[in-house]
A and B are shown apart, each in its own frame.
Chain A
């Protein structure tokens, strides 16, 4: 009898000890750690919104939506339109390269290529995706721009065309691998059904696989746009810092990201309107990419066909 209580006591104290040290403390510790990522998001939103608010309170709205951007002039003007057109135009050039090349590469890899070709080509695409953007920036400025200058004599040393093209090349692997995943997720039964009815592989691709994988393909394109908008170093190096409002892709344009980089490296004094303008531009950039990502998530959840 006495031995029995002894064992029970041991179990009791053991349970108490465990509860005390690990089962009570560790979950809380991990919970706090997991919330660091949430704090980061809130940190981003709070810093962007508070400093952008100071900017918008000091600069009239009419000026913000004007085409005149001259932050360092004697009478500074903070029109944001040149930055927005610069961002949209370079991103559009990038998409014109990345979407056709990326999609057809995905079609080739997932529908036509043999398993062996696929296994050699895919890693090469991944290498292309792993190269730091600063290297692409150097490539655009020191190789692609001089090359294009031979074709287009009026091209400026800094222009929107060259970084746009190189950015497109950088994004090809993203479009290719995400759309390939989407196409591979289409069940083989559907493919075999169409092939059995006498379709060629091409017809199977365009009439069966792509319609079935369209949600994944669309969301890969939207993610690619978001990536192009947020891309910084390529455009900073090769597109320059002209703040003129222009639609001419042979001339220098500044994107939102390039403006942030130029202005911070120029030591904008804390508390000036110029310093706050960084955060206003950052906020707009953040909203652009956030909306793009939400659209991509929405497309892939809502329009996904389940088989």
Chain B
């Protein structure tokens, strides 16, 4: 309650509150309205609103410059020959066929491994685990694992898969390292999807005499599938762009042979970008090759993300 009104009440003159001549009332009770101050406040509000909007515009502009630059640098280099030929010492003959295959092989390991591990973990946490210490421990562990820098996963892969299991820098070692890296993403997405399955579906299934595992297999998982798929596609697009763990595993610079089994050494799209960027000092044309590879990589990511969005919008049932 304002001071002016208090004074009204104290003096028992509520009736004067009805006074129509506002300025008169304000003057009598010494309430000043500083119209200049209000104007300043409004002006500050509008000014800063526009300043703040510039921040979002800034992000937009950077994105535009980045895409434009890469488009310009790759122009003329990105053609069918670039996609279908293998690495070469000569910039105009080099292609990324091997790198594309390497990325595909990598995904052939990452996708099934993360799906099996991730969905199982989510099922355990959401369906089987009793609320308590173990469940909380696993959840805390997963959220911490999600924020471990990717280069540390590279060190883990180097020590465990590379040296201890003697897989070296093969597709298998790279794929398993990458799987552990993106596992938390798949677990969290699957958990959300399973959580969103309404209880009445489960109860209906139990009511029909189905046991827990049958209910999970025939009711919960089919309903949660779009969510799980969306999450794993996003995890996959992260794995495709991730470079550091593979470099730490010691993927060699020049592979002139196309890999034909999971035990072979390989190269992948981001690795190729990395080496070509590093070697621009010696051969300036490598910058164009790197840019062309980036275009391919971004196109793949764009397609994957679009598919994820389509699945989410089209197949997600709301109850």
Q: Which residues of A contact B (CB under 8 A)?
A: 18, 22-23, 26-27, 29-31, 33-38, 40-41, 43-44, 47-48, 51, 100-102, 104-105, 107-109, 112-113, 121, 124-125, 127-128, 130-135, 137-139, 141-143, 157, 169, 172-173, 176, 200-203, 223, 226-227, 229-233, 236-237, 257, 260-261, 264-265, 267, 270, 278-279, 282, 285-286, 289-290, 293, 297
Contact = CB atoms under 8 A, between A and B. Distances in A.
Contact of A130 (B51, B127, B305): B305
Given A142-B73, A142-B280, A134 B148 contact: no
B155 interface: yes
27 contacts: A22-B213, A27-B124, A27-B128, A30-B120, A30-B123, A31-B124, A33-B117, A36-B183, A37-B121, A44-B155, A101-B55, A101-B59, A105-B58, A121-B56, A128-B62, A131-B66, A132-B242, A132-B297, A133-B244, A135-B70, A138-B291, A141-B280, A142-B277, A226-B147, A257-B151, A260-B154, A289-B148
Chain A interface mostly helix, strand, loop or mixed?
helix
B258 interface: no
A22 B187 CA distance: 22
Given A133-B244, A142-B73, A237-B274, 9 more contacts: A38-B141, A41-B144, A133-B243, A137-B277, A200-B44, A230-B150, A264-B158, A264-B250, A286-B152
A43 B156 contact: yes
B59 A128 contact: yes
Nearest to B169: A264
A134 B273 contact: yes
Contacts of A104: 51-52, 55
B297 A264 contact: no
B244 A233 contact: yes
Given A40-B156, A226-B147, A109 B56 contact: yes
Nearest to B54: A104
Nearest to B276: A138
A278 B155 contact: yes
A127 B155 contact: no
The 8 residue pairs across chains A and B that have the minimum distance between CB atoms: A230-B149, A132-B241, A33-B120, A22-B213, A30-B124, A108-B52, A200-B45, A232-B244
B180 to A, nearest CB: 5
A40 B59 contact: no
Interface in B150-166: 150-156, 158-160, 163
Contacts of B144: 41, 290, 293
B107 interface: no
A131 B298 contact: yes
B280 to A, nearest CB: 7
Interface in B117-142: 117, 120-121, 123-125, 127-129, 137-138, 141-142
A80 B47 CA distance: 47
Contact of B277 (A48, A141, A286): A141
Nearest to B153: A44
